[in-house]
């Protein structure tokens, strides 16, 4: 499932491609047909992300709420039919496209989301209210979330993946940051020192914008330094990431040499080092 930085990057692409322009909405697959008809021809105002949820704001107090889930894809690209002065209606369709957006310059095709619905701004605010703090929106961990973490007996490894507490964090950031801070994923969240909670949050606030910029989940200091150096020179910063534990089960931990293990926690694969994550 795409992590939060991927959805924030997608929101940026939708914003750049469609905001401020009239858009032809359609549903070649048919499952979004009624809502697409209501939107067709309206101007897109903006796009935003909160955690793994995308919202496309359209004139007339309309919001397209999207959650890609495990298999969803939303491709945004330029098309070449800009000479007609209006969005083309005959661009070829490949695959099962739930929602298509077309303006004079771009086409966006949404396939396989678990959520694609037309809602009101109030309903979108209700969705957001049920989501946790987003490191790409909140520089500081809200006190309400910190208090909930301090009270829960649930394992910190499960809590970090709970989108109602921390929105946008996925398996890679969880595995690598818990290893970075030498924290056993099974530790009850209330037993994690407040300073460690703050340090993990600060890491997310620092690293996830780099993920938006590069399209890569970069965690190690060396990867981050190389990416930032490339960006400073005008490059993309897309370096090949190196991980300490994520998908490295059966291999030695680069810090202590103990064999990295893979387990299951809250229905997701969990990677950790039993040697130094104590």
- pLDDT tens-digit readout, 21-80: 999 999 999 999 999 999 999 999 999 999 999 999 999 999 999 999 989 999 999 997
pLDDT (mean) for 76-86:
77
Indicate the pLDDT class of residue 278, thresholds 50, 70 and 90.
confident
Quick one: pLDDT at residue 150?
94
3-state secondary structure of 36: helix
247 contacts 234 by C-beta, under 8 angstroms: no
Distance CA(204)–CA(137), nearest Å, equals 11
DSSP per-residue codes, 143-163: HHHHHHHHH--SBHHHHTT-T
Alpha helices (runs of H) in 81-220, residue ranges in sequence order: 121-129, 143-151, 156-159, 171-180, 194-214
DSSP per-residue codes, 160-179: TT-TTTBSS--HHHHHHHHH
Phi, psi at residue 14, to the nearest 5°? -65, -45
- pLDDT tens-digit readout, 240-272: 999 999 999 999 999 999 999 999 998 889 999
Among all residues, which ones are annotated catalytic? Answer: 2-3, 52, 268
- pLDDT tens-digit readout, 129-175: 999 999 999 999 999 999 999 999 999 999 999 999 999 999 999 99
Burial of 71 (0-12, 13-18, 19+ CB in 10 A): exposed
Domains of the chain in sequence order: 4-129 (3.20.190.10), 143-272 (1.10.8.50)
Distance CA(254)–CA(43), nearest Å, equals 52
Quick one: pLDDT at residue 87?
82
Quick one: pLDDT at residue 256?
97
Quick one: pLDDT at residue 49?
98
Cβ atoms within 10 Å, residue 70 = 8
- Percent of the chain's residues with pLDDT above 90: 92
Quick one: pLDDT at residue 83?
59
Quick one: pLDDT at residue 85?
67
Quick one: pLDDT at residue 193?
95
Query: What is the reported pTM?
Result: 0.93
Distances (CA, A) of 114 to 35, 53, 73, 150, 167: 16, 11, 10, 32, 17
Residue 94 region by backbone torsions, left for phi larger than 0, else alpha for psi between -120 and 50, else beta: beta
- pLDDT tens-digit readout, 200-213: 999 999 999 999 99
- On the question of pLDDT at 96 being above 90, the answer is yes
- On the question of pLDDT at 84 being above 70, the answer is no
- On the question of pLDDT at 194 being above 80, the answer is yes
């Amino acid at each position: 499932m795409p992590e939060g930085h991927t959805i924030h990057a997608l929101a940026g692409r939708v914003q750049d491609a469609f905001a401020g322009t009239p858009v032809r909405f359609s549903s070649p697959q048919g499952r979004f047909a009624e809502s697409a008809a209501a939107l067709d021809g309206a101007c897109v105002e903006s796009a935003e992300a909160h955690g793994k949820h995308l919202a496309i704001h359209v004139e007339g107090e309309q919001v397209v709420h999207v959650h890609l889930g495990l298999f969803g894809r939303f491709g945004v690209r330029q098309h070449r039919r800009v000479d007609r002065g209006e969005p083309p209606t005959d661009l070829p369709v490949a695959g099962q496209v739930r929602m298509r957006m077309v303006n004079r310059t771009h086409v966006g095709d949404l396939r396989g989301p678990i959520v694609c619905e037309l809602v009101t701004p109030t309903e979108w605010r209700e969705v957001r209210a049920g989501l946790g703090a987003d490191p790409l929106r909140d520089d500081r961990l809200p006190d309400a979330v910190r208090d909930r973490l301090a009270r829960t007996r649930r394992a910190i490894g499960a809590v970090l993946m709970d989108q109602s507490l921390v929105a946008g964090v996925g398996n890679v950031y969880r595995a690598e940051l818990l290893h970075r801070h030498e924290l056993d994923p099974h530790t009850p969240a209330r037993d994690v020192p407040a300073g460690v909670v703050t340090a993990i949050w600060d890491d997310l606030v620092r690293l996830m914008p780099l993920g938006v910029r590069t399209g890569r989940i970069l965690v190690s200091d060396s990867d981050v330094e190389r990416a930032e150096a490339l960006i400073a020179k005008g490059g993309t910063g897309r370096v090949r990431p190196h991980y300490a534990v994520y998908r490295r089960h059966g291999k030695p931990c680069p810090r202590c040499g103990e064999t990295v293990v893979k387990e299951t926690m809250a229905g997701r694969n969990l990677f950790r080092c039993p040697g130094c994550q104590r």
